[in-house]
């Protein structure tokens, strides 16, 4: 199957695109876009891949579902477009960065500045019906994004994987801990942030690891 995606990713993921599950997933997604209000815009499904080539990735942040509110999700997990109100989980991420590194809390929830530095922030499910969280789960996206995680683990080294919440933590088994840094804690959601996200210091720990490997730190 011919999928429009950045070339370094296409080369590595073509075997996934050619598998039966991906054809079934594509049929489902096309049908959903034809009959339902689905997010993000079709051209933005692989936005994260297109703006962060395989060799550029330094930090991987894993989420589960896209924001289901129209106008919020454009293909980068946790991020929202410029001028959009900052969602609660992202605000808690900013609060932890402030506590950890002393940086002021940004007025914008747009994380493109992270992406430009190699922060690959990906949901495990890449589409969703508007206002229906989880509506595209178990349709094949998870198989695909698990393959992405495995590919990064196998073919790269010295990456930082940030796994927040039980769902993201379940992906640790896909990552080779002998060649990457895995940071795990609870989800930054208001329901759980007080139980370990605040004070986790993942952002300073990530930078310490990158620095120890001779890599440029992330300007969080």
Q: Where are the alpha helices (DSSP H) in 59-170?
A: 88-101, 112-115, 141-155, 166-169
Percent of the chain with pLDDT over 70: 100
Q: With CA atoms as reference, report the closest residue to 141 among 52, 38, 36.
A: 38
Provide CB contacts within 8 A for 191, sequence distance 6+. none
The C-alpha angle with vertex 137 and arms to 125 and 163, in degrees rounded to 5, equals 50
CA distance 79 to 134: 18
pLDDT of residue 152: 98
The average pLDDT across 120-125 equals 98
**Residue 138 binned pLDDT confidence (cut-offs 50, 70, 90):** very high
Q: With CA atoms as reference, report the closest residue to 130 among 67, 46, 215.
A: 67
Dihedral sign (CA 80, 182, 57, 176): negative
Q: Does position 101 have pLDDT exceeding 90, yes or no?
A: yes
The average pLDDT across 146-160 equals 98
**Residue 196 binned pLDDT confidence (cut-offs 50, 70, 90):** very high
Q: Does position 2 have pLDDT exceeding 90, yes or no?
A: no
For residue 132, the 8-state DSSP code is: B
Domains of the chain in sequence order: 5-211 (3.40.470.10)
Q: Is 154 a catalytic residue?
A: no
Q: What are phi and psi of 43, to 5 degrees?
A: -70, -10
* Mean residue pLDDT across the chain: 97
* Residue for token pair 């051209």: 43
Q: Where are the alpha helices (DSSP H) in 18-74?
A: 20-35, 47-51
Q: Does position 213 have pLDDT exceeding 90, yes or no?
A: yes
pTM of the model: 0.96
**Residue 178 binned pLDDT confidence (cut-offs 50, 70, 90):** very high
Q: With contact defined as beta carbons under 8 Å apart, do 171 and 149 qualify? A: yes
Candidates 18, 27, 65, 176; catalytic one: 65
Q: Is 124 helix (H, G, I), strand (E, B) or coil?
A: coil
Provide CB contacts within 8 A for 93, sequence distance 6+. 78, 188
pLDDT of residue 1: 84
């Amino acid at each position: 199957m011919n999928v429009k995606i950045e070339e370094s990713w296409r080369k590595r993921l073509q075997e996934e695109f050619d598998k039966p599950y991906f054809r079934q997933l594509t049929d489902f997604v096309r049908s959903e876009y034809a009959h339902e209000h689905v997010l993000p815009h079709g051209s933005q499904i692989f936005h994260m891949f297109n703006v962060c080539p395989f060799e550029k990735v330094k930090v991987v942040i894993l989420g589960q579902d896209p924001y289901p509110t129209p106008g919020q999700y454009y293909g980068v997990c946790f991020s929202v477009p410029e001028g959009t109100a900052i969602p609660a989980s992202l605000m808690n991420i900013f609060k932890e960065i402030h506590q950890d590194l002393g940086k002021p809390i940004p007025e914008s929830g747009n994380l493109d500045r992270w992406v430009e530095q190699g922060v690959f922030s990906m949901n495990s499910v890449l589409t969703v019906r508007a206002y229906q969280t989880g509506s595209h789960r178990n349709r094949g996206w998870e198989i695909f994004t698990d393959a992405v995680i495995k590919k990064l683990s196998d073919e790269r080294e010295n990456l930082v994987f940030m796994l927040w919440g039980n769902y993201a933590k379940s992906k640790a088994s896909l990552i080779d801990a002998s060649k990457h840094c895995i940071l795990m804690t609870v989800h930054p959601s208001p329901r759980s942030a007080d139980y370990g996200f605040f004070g986790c210091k993942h952002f300073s720990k990530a930078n310490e690891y990158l620095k120890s490997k001779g890599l440029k730190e992330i300007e969080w």
